[in-house]
Chain A
Amino acid sequence: MASLLQSRTPSLSFSSSLCSTPVIRPSAFLLKPRSGSRIPVVRAKIREIFMPALSSTMTEGKIVSWIKSEGDVLSKGESVVVVESDKADMDVETFYDGILAAIVVNEGETAPVGTAIGILAETEDEISEAKAKATSQSSSAPAPSAPNVEESSPAPKVDAPSPAVAAAPAPTSAPSTPGKVVATPYAKKLAKQHKVDIGKLVGTGPFGRITPEDVEKAAGITPAPKSNVAVPPAPAASAAPAAVPPKAPASFPEIPGSTVVPFTTMQAAVSKNMVESLSVPTFRVGYPIATDALDALYEKVKPKGVTMTALLAKAAAMALAQHPVVNTTCKDGKSFTYNSSINIAVAVAINGGLITPVLQDADKLDLYLLSQKWKELVEKARAKQLQPNEYNSGTFTLSNLGMFGVDRFDAILPPGQGAIMAVGASKPTVIADKDGFFSVKNKMLVNVTADHRIIYGADLAAFLQTFSKIIENPESLTM
């Protein structure tokens, strides 16, 4: 849910947000100095121009045209290349002065996001060096020309989109027998897209050739009858017909008169995230919380535009501030990632989809600012104008079905977060106190789902205790 999709990313705001905070998104268009693992000599003077991620759904981009040609002097902020994403053609500009030494990916060709598409040299002296680098790269770039066999590249790590890895897939592994690897055109395209080293695959197709299915298997994609689900945004996948004849995938009985409605992009993303969540070991802890004081406070601040969502988000954020472990993420299964800010994502049902606008730094903002911020986010979500960082930067998710009278429910932990809180309805409940007196108080049930690799039962219990104290004594919320 964290990476729910946004269908429109206006180019202008994209580039401006980039300029102000260029380090936020590693996939964005940056001219990074080469790390030097393969060519150690090169340091900072020769930079690569990367295929930028122009939208959250973009996995590869097509070069529409190079505005500059090789040898042109570029200055910071100038448009260099027009890239076609799955949405539109956009001008991409450089952040560095220099000379466009070499074009690695030519016009009309496609490159995955994050791979080098051109080389920028700082001075004229470095052009030849940069060109040499470009040729070593272009051999593995999209053009299905003869693979450069000499380039012995490291085994591709599927997850890391570093240029070295991205450059790896094409070369065949056995230099002595060029052309021995037989892969179909679509298999090659898929391999490039999923960064699979085709030379390491064993073909199962006719005459031992590598088929698209082989590549999908290697990339860990279940060859679903419609490959679009696995890679929804790739324009290639949607344009190329799914030629595979229906393979009678599941043995569900056919119920006459049923209609099949394919997922929208947003629904496909939800589905993908939900399936992904199955790989995380989660557990749940529930907690009853009296809400009379909160309800009273809500009545008081409601005229000032404060919403229940803002109250709950603020309370959760304050509790998280005291229990930082609940605000962590487990990225690799080996470590805790402590998030520096507390960003509360709130699940919102919208037009048959689901999106999670994020209240950033919810612990630091006051209730009124939070409420105002929330209103803006909901409006943007309706207009499909949320920026990626406004829906995928959450560190903790809040889901509230209380308004529908749901008394308790169980949330699925979105990949990339440590915990999610499911809030039920506040209901009058008969309560016996320690002296045996009955009274009727409003109570709601809160149920937190957490990743047990990083958050243990005691952590959650302590967090919930703090949370319930804040809700039961809500004055601190208004401070």
Chain B
Amino acid sequence: MQASISLSLSSSSPITRSDCTAVANAYLCTPRSLRFCGLRREVFESKSLNSFSVSTRLVSCPRDSSFKKVCAALQSNGTPSKGGFDYDLVIIGAGVGGHGAALHAVEKGLKTAILEGDVVGGTCVNRGCVPSKALLAASGRMRELQNEHHMKSFGLQVAAAGYDRQGVADHANNLASKIRSNLTNSMKALGVDILTGTGTILGPQKLKYGKGGSGDTVITAKDIIIATGSVPLVPKGIEVDGKSVITSDHALKLEFVPEWIAIVGSGYIGLEFSDVYTALGSEVTFIEALDQLMPGFDPEIGKLAQRVLINPRKIDYHTGVFASKITPAKDGKPVIIELIDAKTKEPKGTVEVDAALIATGRAPFTQGLGLENINVQTQRGFVPVDERMRVIDANGKLVPHLFCIGDANGKMMLAHAASAQGISVVEQVSGKDHVLNHLSIPAACFTHPEISMVGLTEPQAREKAEKEGFEVSITKTSFKANTKALAENEGEGLAKLIYRPDTGEILGVHIFGLHAADLIHEASNAIAMGTHIQDIKYAVHAHPTLSEVLDELFKSAKVKVNSSSPVVQPVAV
């Protein structure tokens, strides 16, 4: 019995998408009555419910649909269901959000098309997360090699570390191309129609695409998803010349490394670039409109991050000021930044630097979408949606069959949030209600060390607790006590858990430290699954690993209930 089970599993599990028949055979060979042993079966079931990952997608399908249909769907991208539409689903924008939605739609057997006006992959892959990670990987190593003290503590000696700017830039560019082609191939392999051109909505369930003008093609779709993303926000008064005054779009090409660069905005983008530039030898001046650097982070984490990421580095900052006017370098003059007080608007002097990076945030890219044709008014450019990503028109009514995901709706401007929203929409259009819990979506900032977070910050949690009348507790663990972190000589770090002591519910987790971005998922999954502290604290972590920082965090929480309560459905916001 045991042997036959494991045999049937091993034959079916490594099967890939292109090998449909084999899958079918493997399943057919398995007698219907034969049940997989408990653990394996659970794995299978959870995959079929939440099959976000590409490799497991197919294996899970045959459970409720006929194999033949799935195979056909894979080869021909389905046939549009009744109603006479060209497609079941058309996604405008092939960024990470659109891509996630397209893959899931094919899995659900929908005939899917994706429109791309620029390049597949969108901001994240071409001008955002992906190339910036390449720069951070290179500059992080540079920083480490230059830190003699750090190297010496390992007993290592490094003589004069140096870098080749073009080499670093090429690494970023090559990574972007590689991920872009991966994305394109994955959609092509599934048979998603990739249509080129900008899309304009003409009316309900109808849109056109093309290069503009008369050559445009009109298509119809049962459902439409807007996933057009965003562009760097440049406040007025700032003249971007792409050379000395730049946005993240230009900075990622790393065409030059200025001796002194001002970074306007100290959020994720600004922080990551300060990490890159200081490691490559630049000096950095932050200009932040709010009174605190790193707004948006949990204050305690922000404070620690400032101690580690700002103060010891060649960085200074002006807080509580706007850059009211930025003039690019020309006629032998440096970049001149005029500052005004953020509140009183009084002049606060000027800053003269070699370059300025505008990292003040991102603006939705929703122009030319034809939203006026369906009576939708954007709010500061964002497309208004409800919690199910359904677009709301000017009268506050839902526009049927129209959804908007990702940066364009402004709910949570993160690539993986867009993808999750897209999957949620596909779930809905294929007949299953789904509401995404945004509080379970983690976020990360890839400085050295990294910062990550999920759920509420401490002030947010306290405010919510006040309103709803519950108690909030905080517990913290330090990386200084973690064996693996100490082995890496990276003991600087903190993990912070915000929770309800009465129920054991996790309200938020914030991590600053080595590999924080990878560590956060234990917490975000717990929030998404509704797992409570009193349950997760019994989960075992390999020793010695950084994950023990979270293990300790959960164990140090003082929850008043001991027995595990039934799993609570995640609540959306």
The residues of A with any CB-CB pair to B shorter than 8 Å are 62, 64, 107-110, 144-146, 178-179, 182, 184-186, 188-189, 205-207, 209, 226, 228, 235-236, 238-246, 259-262, 264
Do B147 and A206 touch (CB < 8 A)? no
Closest to A241 in B: B146
Tell me, in angstroms, the Cα distance from A146 to B349 when the chains sit together. 9
Taking the nearest CB of chain A, how far is it from the CB of B178, in angstroms? 29
The residues of B with any CB-CB pair to A shorter than 8 Å are 142-143, 146-149, 152, 157, 159-160, 162, 259-260, 278-285, 303, 306-307, 311-318, 333-334, 348-350, 352, 354
Closest to A145 in B: B318
Taking the nearest CB of chain A, how far is it from the CB of B142, in angstroms? 7
Assuming the A-B contacts A182-B352, A185-B285, A246-B162, are A240 and B313 also in contact, with contact meaning beta carbons closer than 8 angstroms in the complex?
Answer: yes
Do A239 and B149 touch (CB < 8 A)? yes
Do B352 and A246 touch (CB < 8 A)? no
Assuming the A-B contacts A238-B149, A260-B159, are A184 and B311 also in contact, with contact meaning beta carbons closer than 8 angstroms in the complex?
Answer: no
Tell me, in angstroms, the Cα distance from A238 to B146 when the chains sit together. 9
Taking the nearest CB of chain A, how far is it from the CB of B285, in angstroms? 6
Do B312 and A240 touch (CB < 8 A)? yes
Tell me, in angstroms, the Cα distance from A107 to B311 when the chains sit together. 11
Do A245 and B162 touch (CB < 8 A)? yes
Query: Which residues of A have CB within 8 Å of B313?
Result: 239-240
Query: Which residues of B have CB within 8 Å of A108?
Result: 303, 306-307, 311
Query: Which residues of B have CB within 8 Å of A226?
Result: 148
Q: A184-B314, A189-B314, A226-B148 are in contact. List 17 more A-B contacts (CB 8 A).
A: A62-B307, A64-B307, A109-B311, A144-B318, A182-B352, A185-B285, A185-B314, A189-B316, A206-B259, A209-B352, A228-B148, A235-B312, A238-B147, A243-B282, A245-B162, A261-B157, A262-B157
Tell me, in angstroms, the Cα distance from A368 to B311 when the chains sit together. 52
Taking the nearest CB of chain B, how far is it from the CB of A210, in angstroms? 11
B303, B312, B317: the one within 8 Å of A107 (CB): B303
A62, A206, A259, A264: the one within 8 Å of B311 (CB): A62
Do A206 and B334 touch (CB < 8 A)? yes
Do A243 and B281 touch (CB < 8 A)? yes
List 5 contacting pairs A-B, 8 Å CB cutoff, sorted by A: A179-B349, A185-B285, A228-B149, A236-B312, A260-B157
Query: Which residues of B have CB within 8 Å of A243?
Result: 146, 278, 280-282, 314
Taking the nearest CB of chain A, how far is it from the CB of B153, in angstroms? 10
Closest to B146 in A: A241
Taking the nearest CB of chain A, how far is it from the CB of B447, in angstroms? 14
B-side binding surface: helix, strand, loop or mixed? mixed
Tell me, in angstroms, the Cα distance from A189 to B311 when the chains sit together. 10
Tell me, in angstroms, the Cα distance from A244 to B259 when the chains sit together. 10
Tell me, in angstroms, the Cα distance from A179 to B338 when the chains sit together. 11
Assuming the A-B contacts A107-B303, A146-B349, are A185 and B147 also in contact, with contact meaning beta carbons closer than 8 angstroms in the complex?
Answer: no
Counted as pairs of residues, one from A and one from B, with CB atoms less than 8 Å apart, the total is 90
Closest to B316 in A: A185
Do B312 and A188 touch (CB < 8 A)? no
| 5 cross-chain pairs, A with B, having the tightest CB-CB distances, nearest first | A243-B281, A241-B146, A179-B349, A185-B316, A186-B314
Assuming the A-B contacts A185-B285, A186-B283, are A241 and B142 also in contact, with contact meaning beta carbons closer than 8 angstroms in the complex?
Answer: yes
Closest to B302 in A: A108
Closest to B310 in A: A108
Closest to B279 in A: A241
Query: Which residues of A have CB within 8 Å of B316?
Result: 144, 185, 188-189
Closest to A264 in B: B152
Tell me, in angstroms, the Cα distance from A361 to B354 when the chains sit together. 60
Do A206 and B146 touch (CB < 8 A)? no
Do B148 and A262 touch (CB < 8 A)? yes
In this complex, the member of A205, A243, A245, A264 whose beta carbon has the largest number of chain B beta carbons within 10 angstroms is: A243
Tell me, in angstroms, the Cα distance from A200 to B360 when the chains sit together. 35
Taking the nearest CB of chain B, how far is it from the CB of A218, in angstroms? 18
Query: Which residues of A have CB within 8 Å of B315?
Result: 185
Closest to B354 in A: A206
Do A239 and B317 touch (CB < 8 A)? no
Query: Which residues of B have CB within 8 Å of A246?
Result: 160, 162
Taking the nearest CB of chain B, how far is it from the CB of A150, in angstroms? 16
Do B349 and A241 touch (CB < 8 A)? no
Taking the nearest CB of chain B, how far is it from the CB of A268, in angstroms? 11
Query: Which residues of A have CB within 8 Å of B318?
Result: 144-145
Tell me, in angstroms, the Cα distance from A262 to B158 when the chains sit together. 9
Tell me, in angstroms, the Cα distance from A260 to B158 when the chains sit together. 9
Do A184 and B283 touch (CB < 8 A)? yes
Query: Which residues of B have CB within 8 Å of A145?
Result: 318
Do B142 and A207 touch (CB < 8 A)? no
Tell me, in angstroms, the Cα distance from A144 to B286 when the chains sit together. 11
Tell me, in angstroms, the Cα distance from A62 to B157 when the chains sit together. 28
Tell me, in angstroms, the Cα distance from A189 to B142 when the chains sit together. 22
Tell me, in angstroms, the Cα distance from A243 to B284 when the chains sit together. 13
Query: Which residues of A have CB within 8 Å of B152?
Result: 262, 264
Closest to A188 in B: B316
A144, A238, A259: the one within 8 Å of B148 (CB): A238
Tell me, in angstroms, the Cα distance from A246 to B282 when the chains sit together. 15
Taking the nearest CB of chain A, how far is it from the CB of B149, in angstroms? 4
Do A239 and B312 touch (CB < 8 A)? yes
Tell me, in angstroms, the Cα distance from A108 to B293 when the chains sit together. 12
Tell me, in angstroms, the Cα distance from A179 to B303 when the chains sit together. 28
Tell me, in angstroms, the Cα distance from A188 to B317 when the chains sit together. 12
Tell me, in angstroms, the Cα distance from A239 to B492 when the chains sit together. 13
Tell me, in angstroms, the Cα distance from A209 to B283 when the chains sit together. 13
Tell me, in angstroms, the Cα distance from A145 to B316 when the chains sit together. 10
Taking the nearest CB of chain A, how far is it from the CB of B170, in angstroms? 20
Do A239 and B147 touch (CB < 8 A)? yes
Closest to B347 in A: A179
Do B311 and A185 touch (CB < 8 A)? no
Query: Which residues of B have CB within 8 Å of A242?
Result: 146, 148
Taking the nearest CB of chain A, how far is it from the CB of B124, in angstroms? 29
Tell me, in angstroms, the Cα distance from A260 to B161 when the chains sit together. 13
Closest to A228 in B: B148
